[in-house]
Chain A
Amino acid sequence: MDSTVSVSKGCFAFKRKKRNQGPTSARFSGQSWYKAYRNSLTSSEELLNVLENQVFDEIFGGLIDYISTCTSGCVKSHCEIPAATLLTGVNMPDHSSLFSTLSKKVSHSCSPHVATLWSRDCSSLKASVERMCSQFMLVPANEETGNVSSDDEEEGEAESQNKRKVQRWNFNLKYLVSWYNNFQDNPLPQKKKKATKILPKSSSAKPLVVIIPDFESFTTKVLQELILLLKVFQPKLPFVLVLGVATAVSAVHRVLPHHVSCCLRMKVFHSQPSLAYLNEVLEKVFFLPNRPFHLGGKTFKLLMDVFLFHDFSVMGFIQGFKYCMSQHFFDKDWTALSCMPDELPSAAKHLSKTDIESVRKLPSIRKHIESLSSRKDQIAWITDDNFVKGEIVKLLTELHKYIEAFFTSLKCLNLLTSDLPGAPLEKHLRSVYVLASTCDIVKSQELKEGMKLLSLSSSDELESKLKEVLCILHEAVKNGAQQLETVTKKIDGFLPRFKTLWMPSSPTKSMRSPLKSPSKSARSPLKSPVKSPLKSPLQSPSKILTNISSRSQFREKLREMKDVSSYLSPFEKLRTEVLTCLLEDLFTTFLVSPQTKPLHEVLFFDDVSSVKSYIIGSQRQALLRGLRDPHFYLDCNCCKLSDLGDILPTLPDVSIVYKLHLESGKLINMFDWMQSFLTITNPSTSFEEQTEVDPKLQARFTRAVAELQFLGFIKSSNRKTDHVTRLTWC
């Protein structure tokens, strides 16, 4: 470690000596896993961008229209500031990207004058006004200088000189008025060109848009004064406010007293709830077949938990996803196999010997080899590299196909069960995915429960659901999932039967179906296919019950009736048939957990333990780790420990003191503690008690104890003199 000559206490950061490594991308670019990683990352990023644009367009469409029209309709007599209030939801981490996109969009489509005021920059009115004006006056100039082509260079220079002239003390609204008038009279030449290109130049003046993204965290006083100030200048400068409110509109009225709030003319816009946004992201980006990378059930659940329980942040989810992706690929060349199905053969061809060896070591492959029936194949798997390459391609192609069918049938299942009462199989696709990918869903209690409820559904319900299921299936088949074709045809066959169902039948039967007793319907259609030949002719239950004399007889009769009543109407027959078909042909075949498939490690990332500590940072654990094993963070040779219980004299003092305190009980005797500290740091006089203590060592000990107290491991005790209380017990 480096050292300093400084006498002051504190942290010193030492810059690592630069090695000639270049940027990360250059360092890794030659390696095959990196290429695969880039491919997979860029393809998901593209999808995400498309989706993001689409979502933002939806939110901002109305808002931008409003901004561009609101100033023109301002009546002179009550000239309030138009304030578009955007309700953003409480997912704080997403807001900055939302508002930066908004400001870009506004400057592109309705007005070049946009200023964004974050509360962190606006501690006082003066600061916020300066901030706002500087953004209005400087930003267009910057853009221009950036965009000037060679023939416009002179103007560009003039522009930058202009910029220099505008000094800090000029950032006030009075100056802004003159700047704005100037700008309106003779807009910059480039601006004109742009304006004619992009939008027809409107006669009205361009509004000055002030975006306040985090309304709630503003100091109320600053905000009030800012609004009053803008109101004073409103006749001269057409301001438009955009307030980003995370909670609800009433928050605006809690913050602003009435003489301020009546300066605003509010219009409320809603952004999409982040949960809906996430569902969309999942559907359009993650739950797609033919992706080279999927999140396994456990990692997916981890990310979902962070989202639902902690912050509702879609950005956070996406970052977590990307992190998992990098972790999946990093430094493992065989992950080059995680690619689109059509690139598989070439990827397999480039596998090296060691890569194939690591593929062989994958647990799923081991299982696969063991399950092979022929001895010859097993040997070929272990010895013949080329054979393995071929097999890998075969297995992975199968896996891709399986994934396609898996997602399709997952969607079908979710569609069927999402609106069941009590939602035994969860409402959302995401939770069904977690269930299906972590355990065998077909045998699970939840699916049985769901099927039980489904077998109570009415014909209309079932028919409409079946139609939707067919839609999904047809689409999947169209996209090339041949394995689903037979099921689709079979289900297709059921639909016409629904139509003919009621035509000849008597009304009494149709009346019966909704009145069915649950005990009867609970007879699982799953296990017992319909017993079509009726055991006994149907008798009205009331008739049987009339000639009963004793309770035991009654009970017996009831038991008999239970067996008797297995008469099924044509609809009930059809229903059981449909459900059995769905269960056996669709779910049982295709909803197998991916973990059972060979080579699932290539396409699914399910190593939760390796990413958990990074996605959910835990300061306590980091602290304990630092104290227990300083080498982990310091990365120095002197602190390397063979066993975590070891205490070396070279460890940092806090670490030594911490480790010693682990050995004691609730109360720690300071003197004993120091003695043991001394025996470690100064081993020469270890055996006799050191009464004469080196003041330097004593000072080090005192300081370490103080640090430990600051970290919250001990506190001073009043019970015994010279003792401290230990606070943590691990």
Chain B
Amino acid sequence: MLSCLDIPDVPCRHQEATQLVSLLGHPEDSVPQSIFLVGHKSSGKSYTLMKVLQSLGTHFASVNCVEGYVPRLLFESILSQIARENLSPASRCDDIMDFILQLKVIADEHNLHNKIIAVVLEGSERLRDMNANLLPALMRLQELSCLKKICVIFLSDLLWDKFIPCGGLPPPIQIYFPQYSQSDILKILALDKPKDYPADFYLNYLQLFVAVFLRSCRDLTELRFKAAENFSKYCEPIEKGEIDINDSSKLWKHISPHLKASLEMIYMRFETGKKLATEIHCVPPVDKHSTLSSSAKYALSFELPYYAKYLIIAAYLASYNSPKEDKKLFVKLSGRTKKQVQKKNAQIKISSLVIGPRQFDLERLLAIFYSIIEEKPHISVNLLTQITSLVELQLLQKVGNDPLEAPKYKCAVGFDFIIIIAKTLSFNVTKYLVDYK
């Protein structure tokens, strides 16, 4: 029976396409209320579905749920796509009841009662955050709207288990899209073959490419992008006539550093240009710091005002030392506590560097600030606005947003960052860190 229907040619997704066609390809039979397509990002869900729907000639509306920050926009978008015309601005559709009513009207007008109507909801995991009755209602749209051939198709990268509200829902038909295997990816990437080069040559390149990238990235769109980006570099010496087209080992030697550099910047798309590496970290002497961690590079890439530097160090100390230690660390001549501290050290629990930053209040921050800075600047408005500035730069985090309560902060930068900042001030941070060894 399936053979009589045209199954569209979707690379590596034949099984899923067949399943979809068997569900949607028979207007004379009944149609499932809802179908749930689940699979990782860029595993071909929407592509397969669109191919199937187009080849079947189904009447459908496709919406991305990001648009639905107000449900009205979601409803209106679906309705206008089903009606295949722009709705008059006067007809507002604010809730699911309006939606169902208007859907009926449109179906009457366009004579859609006997045709399959598919409503495709991409990114449907967002529906969970919307009105609680929205998801159940959409799942039973057929029942509610009395349109026997309407089918709502949810696309999501979360499993159905994560959707079930506390009241429970009858499970929809689920189609799972597994991740592409290595050979699948190769097959699909090979479709992008540029015209000027032979297929073998391109396949050769792809094998090199996939071997490098597959460990860290299975996102097909990203891989396609990267493959295209690096191929031009791969071909560069051939076009210049430096390397023969068949000399694959030389070509590999040429391309492998490029691939590694490109792998470091995966998911970051920069305007293609040669100065990629320098553009990212924005410090001219990148080569010097190539051994540093990324947060250290981050610290080097911009300059902070003098007091702001001390403030961020003070914030770090406040975040990673417990308030009990403050007296010992910052008050001179507090020798009495020495013995007790040694005892405590014996039964040390977990280092606060592991737990993460503590929150602290403004007064503690300022107290530490004044004890670590040599000159004592007046506490002025300019100084306090620096704290706000640091919050805006996301170097500090404000905890809680009660405007009346005294504000509390957390330090949002790591150890490497602080070390770099302290170095520019020639200030020894480790002296003040209890847990540092």
Contacts and interface: CB of A to CB of B under 8 A. Distances in A.
B302 interface: yes
Interface in B303-320: 303-308
B141 to A, nearest CB: 21
Interface string B247-279: 000000000000000000011111100000001
B367 interface: no
A310 B392 contact: no
For A87, A250, A268, A310, which residue has the most chain B Cβ atoms within 10 angstroms? Answer: A310
Interface in B159-213: none
A250 B294 contact: yes
Interface residues of A, number: 56
A311 B271 contact: no
Nearest to A173: B67
Given A214-B392, A247-B302, A268-B279, A129 B69 contact: yes
A54 to B, nearest CB: 23
Contacts of A126: 69-70
A264 to B, nearest CB: 6
Contacts of B69: 124-126, 129, 225, 229
B66 interface: yes
A92 interface: yes
Contact of B392 (A129, A173, A217): A217
B281 to A, nearest CB: 7
Interface string A87-124: 10110100000000000000000000000000000001
Contacts of A19: none
Contact of A309 (B72, B307, B392): B307
Contacts of B382: 306, 310-311, 616-617
A267 B276 CA distance: 10
Contacts of A251: 298, 394
B348 interface: no
Contacts of B334: none
A311 B389 contact: yes
Contact of A308 (B76, B267, B305): B305
Interface in B45-77: 64, 66-67, 69-70, 72-73, 76-77
Interface residues of B, number: 57
A313 B385 CA distance: 12
B230 interface: no
A616 B381 contact: yes
Interface in A251-306: 251, 253, 255, 258-259, 261-262, 264-268, 270, 273, 275, 306
A90 B280 contact: no
Contact of B298 (A174, A248, A255): A248
B431 interface: no
A616 B380 contact: yes
Contacts of A267: 270-271
B392 A259 contact: no
Interface stretch (B6-14, B28-36, B220-228, B234-242): B220-228
Contacts of B384: 619
Contact of B393 (A172, A228, A247, A259): A247
Given A262-B269, A266-B269, A618 B378 contact: yes
B140 interface: no
B270 A265 contact: yes
Interface string A221-233: 0000100110010
A618 B282 contact: no
Contacts of A246: 302, 392-393
B149 interface: no
A478 to B, nearest CB: 37
A448 to B, nearest CB: 26
A670 to B, nearest CB: 25
Given A174-B76, A225-B66, A268 B270 contact: yes
Interface in B332-358: none
A311 B385 contact: yes
B64 A232 contact: yes
A174 B67 CA distance: 9
A618 B381 contact: yes
B80 to A, nearest CB: 8
Contacts of A361: none
A249 interface: yes
A37 interface: no
B381 A216 contact: no
B89 interface: yes
Contacts of B282: 87, 248-249, 268, 270
A92 B266 CA distance: 31
Nearest to B386: A310
A232 B67 contact: yes
Nearest to B224: A78
Given A129-B69, A225-B66, A262-B267, A216 B302 contact: no
Contact of B305 (A87, A90, A258): A90
B132 to A, nearest CB: 19
B298 A312 contact: no
B364 interface: no
A275 B378 CA distance: 23
Contacts of B280: 249-250, 268
Nearest to B80: A174
B410 interface: no
Interface in B367-412: 377-386, 389, 391-395
Contacts of A78: 221, 224-225
Contacts of A174: 67, 73, 76-77, 80
A262 B222 contact: yes
Contacts of A262: 219, 221-222, 225, 267-269
A310 B383 CA distance: 6
B289 to A, nearest CB: 13
Contact of B306 (A248, A270, A308): A308
A448 B70 CA distance: 73
A253 B383 CA distance: 29
A358 B377 CA distance: 36
A318 B272 CA distance: 39
Contacts of B298: 247-248, 250-251
Interface in A518-561: none
A119 to B, nearest CB: 8
A717 B140 CA distance: 66
A602 B179 CA distance: 79
A170 B86 CA distance: 14
Nearest to B377: A309
Contact of B269 (A80, A90, A214, A247): A80
A389 B63 CA distance: 83
Interface string B273-301: 00000011110000000000010011001
B303 A90 contact: yes
A537 B209 CA distance: 77
For A124, A229, A250, A620, which residue has the most chain B Cβ atoms within 10 angstroms? Answer: A250
Contacts of A270: 282
A632 to B, nearest CB: 18
Contact of B66 (A214, A232, A308, A311): A232
A170 B199 CA distance: 51
Contacts of B80: 174
Contact of B301 (A124, A225, A250, A617): A250
A690 interface: no
Contacts of A255: 394
Contacts of B221: 78, 262
A249 B298 CA distance: 9
22 contacts: A90-B308, A129-B69, A169-B72, A172-B70, A246-B392, A247-B301, A247-B394, A248-B281, A248-B282, A251-B298, A262-B267, A266-B268, A266-B269, A267-B270, A270-B282, A309-B305, A310-B305, A310-B382, A310-B385, A311-B305, A617-B380, A617-B382
Interface of A: 77-78, 80, 87, 89-90, 92, 124-126, 129, 169-170, 172-175, 178, 214, 216-217, 225, 228-229, 232, 246-251, 253, 255, 258-259, 261-262, 264-268, 270, 273, 275, 306, 308-312, 616-620
Shortest Cβ-Cβ A-B pairs, 4 listed:
A258-B267, A248-B301, A267-B271, A617-B381
